[in-house]
A and B are shown apart, each in its own frame.
Chain A
Amino acid sequence: MSGLGLFTRTRWADRAGLLSVLTITLMTLAAGVITPFDPQSRVAAAYLAPSAAHWFGTDEIGRDLFSRVLQGAQLTWLPAVTVIGLALFFGAAVGLVSGALGGWVDLTLQRVVDLFLVLPPMLIALTVVAVLGPGIVNTVIALVIFWWPWYARITRDEVRRLKGRPHFEAAQLGGIDPFCLWFRYLLPGAVPALVVAATLDVANVVLAMALMSFLGLGQPAPAAELGAMTARSLESLTVYWWLPILPAAAVWLMCLSANLAGDGLRSVLRGA
Protein backbone atom coordinates (compact mmCIF):
# COMPACT_ATOMS: atom_id res chain seq x y z
CA MET A 1 0.00 0.00 0.00
CA SER A 2 1.59 3.25 -1.07
CA GLY A 3 1.65 6.44 0.99
CA LEU A 4 -0.19 8.20 -1.81
CA GLY A 5 -2.96 5.61 -1.75
CA LEU A 6 -3.40 6.14 1.97
CA PHE A 7 -3.51 9.87 1.44
CA THR A 8 -6.22 9.84 -1.18
CA ARG A 9 -8.49 7.68 0.97
CA THR A 10 -8.65 10.13 3.87
CA ARG A 11 -11.33 12.73 4.48
CA TRP A 12 -10.79 16.30 3.26
CA ALA A 13 -10.25 17.63 6.81
CA ASP A 14 -7.55 15.03 7.41
CA ARG A 15 -5.93 15.92 4.11
CA ALA A 16 -6.04 19.62 4.95
CA GLY A 17 -4.39 18.90 8.32
CA LEU A 18 -1.61 16.77 6.84
CA LEU A 19 -1.02 19.29 4.05
CA SER A 20 -0.85 22.30 6.35
CA VAL A 21 1.50 20.51 8.76
CA LEU A 22 3.75 19.88 5.77
CA THR A 23 3.42 23.51 4.61
CA ILE A 24 4.13 24.91 8.07
CA THR A 25 7.22 22.73 8.43
CA LEU A 26 8.55 23.79 5.03
CA MET A 27 7.78 27.48 5.65
CA THR A 28 9.43 27.50 9.08
CA LEU A 29 12.48 25.66 7.74
CA ALA A 30 12.81 28.25 4.98
CA ALA A 31 11.84 31.23 7.18
CA GLY A 32 15.27 32.86 6.91
CA VAL A 33 14.97 32.93 3.12
CA ILE A 34 11.31 33.73 2.55
CA THR A 35 10.78 36.54 5.06
CA PRO A 36 10.13 39.65 2.92
CA PHE A 37 11.94 41.98 5.39
CA ASP A 38 14.51 41.63 8.13
CA PRO A 39 12.38 40.82 11.19
CA GLN A 40 14.79 42.60 13.55
CA SER A 41 15.13 46.01 11.91
CA ARG A 42 12.93 49.00 11.34
CA VAL A 43 11.62 48.98 7.73
CA ALA A 44 8.67 51.43 7.74
CA ALA A 45 6.66 53.75 9.95
CA ALA A 46 5.29 52.33 13.22
CA TYR A 47 1.71 51.02 13.58
CA LEU A 48 0.93 50.65 9.85
CA ALA A 49 -2.26 48.62 9.31
CA PRO A 50 -2.06 45.44 7.14
CA SER A 51 -1.60 46.35 3.46
CA ALA A 52 -0.21 44.95 0.22
CA ALA A 53 3.29 46.10 1.12
CA HIS A 54 3.18 44.87 4.73
CA TRP A 55 0.72 41.94 4.85
CA PHE A 56 0.43 41.91 8.63
CA GLY A 57 1.18 45.63 9.12
CA THR A 58 4.10 46.93 11.22
CA ASP A 59 4.70 46.95 14.98
CA GLU A 60 5.36 49.70 17.52
CA ILE A 61 8.85 50.47 16.18
CA GLY A 62 8.11 49.89 12.48
CA ARG A 63 9.25 46.25 12.05
CA ASP A 64 7.39 44.13 9.46
CA LEU A 65 4.93 41.97 11.44
CA PHE A 66 4.60 39.21 8.82
CA SER A 67 8.35 38.62 8.90
CA ARG A 68 8.29 38.60 12.69
CA VAL A 69 5.36 36.15 12.86
CA LEU A 70 7.13 33.85 10.40
CA GLN A 71 10.28 33.94 12.50
CA GLY A 72 8.21 33.44 15.64
CA ALA A 73 6.57 30.40 14.06
CA GLN A 74 10.03 29.05 13.27
CA LEU A 75 11.09 29.53 16.90
CA THR A 76 7.99 27.68 18.10
CA TRP A 77 7.31 24.98 15.54
CA LEU A 78 10.78 23.54 15.06
CA PRO A 79 11.51 23.29 18.82
CA ALA A 80 8.04 21.74 19.30
CA VAL A 81 8.81 19.05 16.73
CA THR A 82 12.22 18.53 18.36
CA VAL A 83 10.63 18.19 21.81
CA ILE A 84 8.21 15.55 20.52
CA GLY A 85 10.97 13.72 18.66
CA LEU A 86 13.25 13.53 21.70
CA ALA A 87 10.38 12.64 24.03
CA LEU A 88 9.33 9.87 21.61
CA PHE A 89 12.87 8.50 21.49
CA PHE A 90 13.39 8.34 25.27
CA GLY A 91 9.79 7.37 26.02
CA ALA A 92 9.68 4.55 23.49
CA ALA A 93 13.04 3.20 24.67
CA VAL A 94 11.99 3.13 28.33
CA GLY A 95 8.54 1.79 27.45
CA LEU A 96 9.93 -1.01 25.28
CA VAL A 97 12.37 -2.17 27.94
CA SER A 98 9.71 -1.93 30.63
CA GLY A 99 7.01 -3.75 28.68
CA ALA A 100 9.21 -6.38 27.09
CA LEU A 101 11.12 -7.39 30.23
CA GLY A 102 8.22 -7.11 32.68
CA GLY A 103 8.70 -8.19 36.29
CA TRP A 104 10.64 -5.96 38.68
CA VAL A 105 12.20 -3.93 35.85
CA ASP A 106 8.70 -3.00 34.66
CA LEU A 107 7.60 -2.23 38.21
CA THR A 108 10.59 0.04 38.89
CA LEU A 109 10.50 1.89 35.58
CA GLN A 110 6.77 2.46 35.80
CA ARG A 111 7.09 3.99 39.29
CA VAL A 112 9.72 6.34 37.86
CA VAL A 113 7.30 7.19 35.07
CA ASP A 114 4.56 7.79 37.66
CA LEU A 115 6.88 10.15 39.49
CA PHE A 116 7.34 12.25 36.37
CA LEU A 117 3.66 12.09 35.40
CA VAL A 118 2.49 13.64 38.68
CA LEU A 119 4.86 16.61 38.43
CA PRO A 120 2.91 19.74 37.50
CA PRO A 121 4.12 20.44 33.94
CA MET A 122 4.31 24.23 33.87
CA LEU A 123 5.95 24.36 37.29
CA ILE A 124 8.72 22.02 36.09
CA ALA A 125 9.19 23.99 32.90
CA LEU A 126 9.33 27.28 34.77
CA THR A 127 11.73 25.87 37.36
CA VAL A 128 14.12 24.47 34.75
CA VAL A 129 14.13 27.73 32.82
CA ALA A 130 14.51 29.75 36.01
CA VAL A 131 17.50 27.64 37.06
CA LEU A 132 19.19 27.21 33.69
CA GLY A 133 18.17 30.59 32.35
CA PRO A 134 15.87 31.35 29.41
CA GLY A 135 16.80 30.14 25.93
CA ILE A 136 15.59 27.74 23.31
CA VAL A 137 17.73 24.77 24.41
CA ASN A 138 16.62 25.06 28.01
CA THR A 139 12.96 25.30 26.99
CA VAL A 140 13.31 22.14 24.92
CA ILE A 141 14.97 20.30 27.83
CA ALA A 142 12.22 21.43 30.20
CA LEU A 143 9.46 20.22 27.89
CA VAL A 144 11.14 16.86 27.10
CA ILE A 145 11.39 16.17 30.83
CA PHE A 146 7.67 16.64 31.05
CA TRP A 147 6.66 14.79 27.88
CA TRP A 148 8.68 11.55 27.70
CA PRO A 149 6.81 9.64 30.42
CA TRP A 150 3.57 9.80 28.43
CA TYR A 151 5.21 7.98 25.52
CA ALA A 152 6.87 5.54 27.88
CA ARG A 153 3.44 4.65 29.25
CA ILE A 154 1.83 4.30 25.81
CA THR A 155 4.68 2.14 24.47
CA ARG A 156 4.73 -0.04 27.56
CA ASP A 157 0.97 -0.68 27.42
CA GLU A 158 1.01 -1.50 23.71
CA VAL A 159 3.99 -3.83 24.19
CA ARG A 160 2.27 -5.60 27.10
CA ARG A 161 -0.85 -6.03 24.97
CA LEU A 162 1.12 -7.46 22.06
CA LYS A 163 3.00 -9.84 24.37
CA GLY A 164 -0.24 -11.60 25.21
CA ARG A 165 -1.22 -12.11 21.58
CA PRO A 166 -0.81 -15.47 19.84
CA HIS A 167 1.44 -13.97 17.18
CA PHE A 168 4.02 -12.96 19.77
CA GLU A 169 3.82 -16.35 21.47
CA ALA A 170 4.40 -17.93 18.07
CA ALA A 171 7.44 -15.70 17.54
CA GLN A 172 8.77 -16.58 21.01
CA LEU A 173 8.55 -20.29 20.22
CA GLY A 174 10.60 -19.67 17.10
CA GLY A 175 13.77 -19.06 19.08
CA ILE A 176 14.28 -15.70 17.41
CA ASP A 177 17.05 -13.64 19.04
CA PRO A 178 15.75 -11.12 21.58
CA PHE A 179 16.96 -8.04 19.73
CA CYS A 180 15.03 -9.02 16.59
CA LEU A 181 12.05 -10.07 18.71
CA TRP A 182 11.85 -6.64 20.36
CA PHE A 183 12.43 -4.45 17.35
CA ARG A 184 10.56 -6.44 14.70
CA TYR A 185 7.81 -8.21 16.61
CA LEU A 186 6.95 -5.72 19.39
CA LEU A 187 7.96 -2.12 18.71
CA PRO A 188 6.25 -1.65 15.31
CA GLY A 189 2.97 -2.61 16.97
CA ALA A 190 3.24 0.44 19.22
CA VAL A 191 4.01 2.82 16.35
CA PRO A 192 0.43 3.67 15.29
CA ALA A 193 -0.59 4.68 18.82
CA LEU A 194 2.64 6.66 19.27
CA VAL A 195 2.40 8.49 15.95
CA VAL A 196 -1.16 9.57 16.65
CA ALA A 197 -0.38 10.72 20.20
CA ALA A 198 2.74 12.55 19.03
CA THR A 199 1.00 14.46 16.25
CA LEU A 200 -1.71 15.60 18.63
CA ASP A 201 0.93 16.57 21.17
CA VAL A 202 2.75 18.90 18.76
CA ALA A 203 -0.19 21.25 19.27
CA ASN A 204 0.16 21.00 23.05
CA VAL A 205 3.87 21.78 22.91
CA VAL A 206 3.25 24.75 20.63
CA LEU A 207 0.75 26.05 23.18
CA ALA A 208 3.07 25.38 26.10
CA MET A 209 5.90 27.26 24.39
CA ALA A 210 3.65 30.18 23.52
CA LEU A 211 2.48 30.26 27.12
CA MET A 212 6.03 30.25 28.49
CA SER A 213 7.01 33.07 26.18
CA PHE A 214 3.81 34.96 27.07
CA LEU A 215 4.89 34.72 30.72
CA GLY A 216 8.32 36.10 29.82
CA LEU A 217 10.18 32.79 30.09
CA GLY A 218 10.90 32.31 26.41
CA GLN A 219 13.84 33.71 24.56
CA PRO A 220 15.40 37.05 25.49
CA ALA A 221 13.96 40.26 24.07
CA PRO A 222 14.92 40.90 20.44
CA ALA A 223 13.82 37.38 19.37
CA ALA A 224 10.41 37.40 17.70
CA GLU A 225 8.42 35.01 19.86
CA LEU A 226 4.69 34.64 19.29
CA GLY A 227 3.67 34.53 22.95
CA ALA A 228 5.83 37.53 23.87
CA MET A 229 4.55 39.51 20.87
CA THR A 230 0.95 38.92 21.96
CA ALA A 231 1.73 39.74 25.58
CA ARG A 232 3.53 43.01 24.81
CA SER A 233 0.82 44.39 22.55
CA LEU A 234 -2.23 43.10 24.40
CA GLU A 235 -3.12 46.52 25.85
CA SER A 236 -3.32 48.01 22.33
CA LEU A 237 -5.83 45.32 21.19
CA THR A 238 -8.66 47.85 20.60
CA VAL A 239 -6.49 50.27 18.60
CA TYR A 240 -3.88 48.22 16.74
CA TRP A 241 -5.74 44.88 16.67
CA TRP A 242 -3.26 43.18 14.31
CA LEU A 243 -0.41 43.40 16.81
CA PRO A 244 -1.78 40.85 19.34
CA ILE A 245 -4.29 39.02 17.08
CA LEU A 246 -2.10 37.93 14.15
CA PRO A 247 0.68 36.26 16.22
CA ALA A 248 -2.02 34.54 18.32
CA ALA A 249 -3.73 33.45 15.08
CA ALA A 250 -0.46 31.84 13.98
CA VAL A 251 -0.39 29.79 17.21
CA TRP A 252 -4.01 28.84 16.65
CA LEU A 253 -3.33 27.75 13.05
CA MET A 254 -0.40 25.57 14.07
CA CYS A 255 -2.44 23.87 16.81
CA LEU A 256 -5.40 23.33 14.50
CA SER A 257 -3.23 21.82 11.77
CA ALA A 258 -1.50 19.48 14.19
CA ASN A 259 -4.83 18.35 15.62
CA LEU A 260 -6.37 17.73 12.20
CA ALA A 261 -3.28 15.87 11.08
CA GLY A 262 -3.40 13.76 14.25
CA ASP A 263 -7.03 12.87 13.62
CA GLY A 264 -6.18 12.10 10.00
CA LEU A 265 -3.31 9.80 10.92
CA ARG A 266 -5.51 8.09 13.47
CA SER A 267 -8.22 7.27 10.94
CA VAL A 268 -5.63 6.12 8.39
CA LEU A 269 -3.71 3.92 10.85
CA ARG A 270 -6.74 2.46 12.57
CA GLY A 271 -8.76 1.99 9.40
CA ALA A 272 -6.00 0.56 7.22
Chain B
Amino acid sequence: MGTYRSYVTGFIASLILTLSAFYVVWQHISNHHQAFSNSFLIVVIIGLALIQLFVQLTFFLHLGRDRKSRWNLIIFLFMVMVVVMVVGGSLWIMRNLDYHMKPHDAETYIIKDEGLSSH
Protein backbone atom coordinates (compact mmCIF):
# COMPACT_ATOMS: atom_id res chain seq x y z
CA MET B 1 0.00 0.00 0.00
CA GLY B 2 1.43 3.35 -1.01
CA THR B 3 2.12 6.37 1.10
CA TYR B 4 2.50 9.98 0.05
CA ARG B 5 6.19 9.67 0.80
CA SER B 6 6.67 6.62 -1.46
CA TYR B 7 5.00 8.32 -4.43
CA VAL B 8 7.09 11.49 -4.02
CA THR B 9 10.30 9.46 -3.68
CA GLY B 10 9.45 7.39 -6.75
CA PHE B 11 8.54 10.46 -8.78
CA ILE B 12 11.71 12.39 -7.95
CA ALA B 13 13.95 9.36 -8.52
CA SER B 14 12.26 8.65 -11.87
CA LEU B 15 12.67 12.29 -12.93
CA ILE B 16 16.39 12.23 -12.09
CA LEU B 17 16.92 8.92 -13.91
CA THR B 18 15.01 10.02 -17.04
CA LEU B 19 16.77 13.39 -17.21
CA SER B 20 20.23 11.92 -16.69
CA ALA B 21 19.72 9.34 -19.47
CA PHE B 22 18.53 12.15 -21.74
CA TYR B 23 21.44 14.39 -20.70
CA VAL B 24 24.09 11.79 -21.52
CA VAL B 25 22.60 11.11 -24.96
CA TRP B 26 22.13 14.84 -25.62
CA GLN B 27 25.81 15.50 -24.80
CA HIS B 28 26.75 12.74 -27.22
CA ILE B 29 24.61 14.20 -30.03
CA SER B 30 25.80 17.76 -29.40
CA ASN B 31 29.39 16.58 -29.78
CA HIS B 32 28.68 15.16 -33.25
CA HIS B 33 28.29 11.61 -31.89
CA GLN B 34 31.90 11.62 -30.72
CA ALA B 35 31.53 12.07 -26.95
CA PHE B 36 31.11 8.44 -25.90
CA SER B 37 31.45 5.02 -27.44
CA ASN B 38 28.23 3.32 -28.52
CA SER B 39 28.62 0.35 -26.21
CA PHE B 40 29.15 2.68 -23.23
CA LEU B 41 25.95 4.59 -24.11
CA ILE B 42 23.93 1.39 -24.52
CA VAL B 43 25.07 0.13 -21.11
CA VAL B 44 24.23 3.51 -19.50
CA ILE B 45 20.78 3.76 -21.16
CA ILE B 46 19.76 0.17 -20.35
CA GLY B 47 21.20 0.44 -16.85
CA LEU B 48 19.27 3.63 -16.06
CA ALA B 49 16.07 2.12 -17.53
CA LEU B 50 16.43 -1.00 -15.37
CA ILE B 51 17.03 1.12 -12.25
CA GLN B 52 13.92 3.12 -13.09
CA LEU B 53 11.97 -0.12 -13.58
CA PHE B 54 13.02 -1.15 -10.09
CA VAL B 55 12.18 2.29 -8.64
CA GLN B 56 8.70 2.34 -10.17
CA LEU B 57 7.95 -1.27 -9.24
CA THR B 58 8.90 -0.50 -5.64
CA PHE B 59 7.48 2.98 -5.11
CA PHE B 60 4.51 3.06 -7.53
CA LEU B 61 3.41 -0.57 -7.78
CA HIS B 62 4.62 -1.59 -4.27
CA LEU B 63 5.73 -4.98 -5.51
CA GLY B 64 7.07 -7.42 -2.98
CA ARG B 65 6.59 -5.06 -0.01
CA ASP B 66 4.25 -7.23 2.05
CA ARG B 67 3.92 -10.95 2.27
CA LYS B 68 0.50 -10.94 0.62
CA SER B 69 1.96 -9.92 -2.71
CA ARG B 70 4.39 -12.84 -2.77
CA TRP B 71 2.43 -14.49 -5.60
CA ASN B 72 2.55 -11.27 -7.58
CA LEU B 73 6.32 -11.32 -7.24
CA ILE B 74 6.56 -14.95 -8.37
CA ILE B 75 4.37 -14.27 -11.42
CA PHE B 76 6.46 -11.18 -12.15
CA LEU B 77 9.67 -13.22 -12.06
CA PHE B 78 8.12 -15.84 -14.35
CA MET B 79 7.22 -13.04 -16.80
CA VAL B 80 10.80 -11.77 -16.64
CA MET B 81 12.03 -15.24 -17.56
CA VAL B 82 9.66 -15.44 -20.55
CA VAL B 83 10.69 -11.95 -21.69
CA VAL B 84 14.39 -12.76 -21.44
CA MET B 85 13.88 -15.91 -23.51
CA VAL B 86 11.71 -14.20 -26.15
CA VAL B 87 13.84 -11.08 -26.55
CA GLY B 88 17.25 -12.64 -25.99
CA GLY B 89 16.44 -15.66 -28.15
CA SER B 90 15.04 -13.57 -31.03
CA LEU B 91 18.04 -11.26 -31.06
CA TRP B 92 20.50 -14.14 -30.89
CA ILE B 93 18.87 -16.14 -33.68
CA MET B 94 18.23 -13.18 -35.98
CA ARG B 95 21.73 -11.85 -35.50
CA ASN B 96 23.15 -15.21 -36.42
CA LEU B 97 20.91 -15.46 -39.50
CA ASP B 98 21.88 -11.95 -40.49
CA TYR B 99 25.55 -12.90 -40.14
CA HIS B 100 25.15 -15.82 -42.50
CA MET B 101 22.90 -14.18 -45.06
CA LYS B 102 24.50 -10.88 -46.00
CA PRO B 103 24.63 -11.31 -49.79
CA HIS B 104 27.52 -9.12 -50.85
CA ASP B 105 30.10 -8.96 -48.16
CA ALA B 106 29.27 -12.23 -46.39
CA GLU B 107 32.14 -14.03 -47.97
CA THR B 108 34.75 -11.45 -47.10
CA TYR B 109 33.78 -10.86 -43.51
CA ILE B 110 33.05 -14.47 -42.66
CA ILE B 111 36.46 -15.37 -44.03
CA LYS B 112 37.97 -12.59 -41.94
CA ASP B 113 36.01 -13.38 -38.75
CA GLU B 114 36.63 -17.09 -38.91
CA GLY B 115 40.29 -16.63 -39.70
CA LEU B 116 40.14 -18.57 -42.97
CA SER B 117 42.33 -17.86 -45.95
CA SER B 118 40.45 -16.85 -49.10
CA HIS B 119 41.92 -19.58 -51.26
Q: Are both chains from one complex?
A: no
Chain A residues packing against B (C-beta within 8 Å):
none
Chain B residues packing against A (C-beta within 8 Å):
none
